[in-house]
Every structure is written in structure tokens, then in C-alpha cells.
Amino acid sequence: MIDDAIRVLAGDCTVITEGVEREEYRGRMTTVVKPDNTVLVHDRDGYQPVAWLTRADSVSSERSDGFTLVAKKDTQTLRIAAHEQDGFAHYPVSAAGPLVGTCPDCDGALVRSKGVHCVDCGTRYGVPADATIQTDQSHCDCGLPRMRVERGLAFNVCLDRDCESLDAAVKEAFDREWDCPEADCDGDLRILRRGGLIAGCEHYPECDTGFAMPAGVIDGDCGCGLPTFDARSGTRCLDATCEQLHRNTLEPEEVPSDD
């Protein structure tokens, strides 16, 4: 089950904000406390809160003779005291995003928001930012949708990396495919995960040459000997700092002589 919950406090309240200036409000208001400690105080009008504190360092509340709530962040303080309580409740909450499938574990909705997660059981799957979730094609045998990710080739793999590994697919395709371009180094580039997927020299740490695998498909060879990728920003070398591709693009083609 999802552990995250929103707290909702409603009633006739006094709200005091202290920071650069001190302000005080009185009225029947509803306070929302999000799981990340963001506090929003709303009255009857519009979408703008009467008072708020984003991602407070601490939030404490008590329920006695109504309720009180104190939120603090750096030098800012938000205090709420209920003279008369209308409601005090907790409700489960999740991140929201486009629907991409159905959870095979609980039949809950799978949505994409900083990855893919189930809004019912809370199961999460890490997804590259550039991945396309294939909602209209065949699912994996485990019941999850597949994602299309471009890392030299277009790979179609399960959302669950323990089921079908994107790293393993890229490694099978490109491990030792290219020579290390460093002078006097006879190493091959290995496909490794160091934060993200990289093509790094097998002689590390003696040779620290390494390149992040771009999002795109290989469409040719650069003058430096490394592959070029058809990326969203255009054609680029595996080495993002390489000037050889740019230089070759700028050099005019030799025009054959009529002689």
C-alpha cells in the first residue's frame, strides 16, 4: 500500500506567518500538508493560498481543543491555530501522470511521473527520461509494458530491469565494439554503468577515458574513429567534446576539375 498521505485540517483558524514580515489572518480555512512537508492554507476564493510554506524543514501538529500546526523553514515560520475544528483527516496520495498500463501485481493504474509507478500498491520502476512507453504494443510476459530506449540502437525492453535489462542489451550490442581513442592506449571501450551507461576504457583507472552513451541511434563514423549518433539535437559524436565532426561538416567538398 502507498504510505504517502495528505493531511487536511479545516476550521475557524488564526494563521500567522513570520519571516521578513509578520502577517496574521483569521477565517474558516482549510490547510493541506503534503508528504514533502509543503503546507498550503486556503480560504474560499481562487487558487492562490492565503499562506504557504514550501517543503518545510519540520511540521508539527497537535489535536487538543481543535488543532495547532507549526511549520518551519530556515527563518520562516507558519503557525495555525483552530478556534473551532471542522475536520482533521489523512488521505492516501501519489504522484500523478499519464496512464501507461495496469500493474500486474494489483491491477492498479500505472502512471508515468519521474519513472513509472502504481497508484495503488506504490511499486515503482526507474525509466530513462527519453524512453517511450509502448502502451499500444505487446507487453512483456510479466504483464508490464515495454519501453523503447535509444542507446546506439533502438531497444525494446520491459519496464522492470530485473526482468529485461537495458544495460545487458546495450552491453551485448556494443561491449568492446570500439577502440579507446586515447593515444598510446590499446584498450577497448567497455559498456559500464557509472551513474549512467558509459563506454569506458577497460584499462581504467590507468586510462580514465569514458563517454556517456547518448540517447540516439548510430548513423555513421566520426573522423576521430568513434561512432556518430542521430540524436534529438542533431548528429553528434560519442565524444561530446569532439571537434572532428564539426570540422568535417564545415570543410567544403572538393569540386572536381573540368580538366
Are residue 200 and residue 134 in the same domain, yes or no? no
The domain in which residue 56 lies consists of 5-92
Number of domains in the chain: 3
Predicted confidence at residue 194, as pLDDT, reads 87
pLDDT along the chain (259 residues), means of 10: 79 94 96 95 95 95 84 96 91 92 93 93 92 85 94 95 94 96 94 92 94 95 93 92 62 39
Kindly state whether residues 49 and 123 are assigned to the same domain.
no
Domain final residue, candidates 92, 110, 134 = 92
Residues 86 and 12 in one domain: yes
State residue 245's pLDDT score: 61
Q: Is residue 258 part of a domain?
A: no
- Residues 158, 179 share a domain: no
pLDDT tens digits for range 164-192: 999 999 999 999 999 999 999 999 999 99
Phi, psi (deg, nearest 5) at residue 252: -70, 145
With CA atoms as reference, report the closest residue to 19 among 80, 81, 78. Answer: 78
The pLDDT score that the predictor gives to residue 155 is 96
Q: List helix spans (H) across the chain.
A: 166-174, 244-250
Q: Quick one: CA dihedral 85, 90, 91, 96, positive or negative?
A: positive
In this prediction, residue 119 carries a pLDDT of 93
Q: Which residue has the cell 506567518?
A: 17
Q: Supply the DSSP symbol for 92.
A: E
Claim to verify: residue 216 and residue 145 sit in the same structural domain: no
Q: Is the dihedral of CA 167, 168, 173, 176 positive or negative?
A: positive
Q: What pLDDT is stored for residue 257 in this prediction? A: 38
pTM (predicted TM-score): 0.75
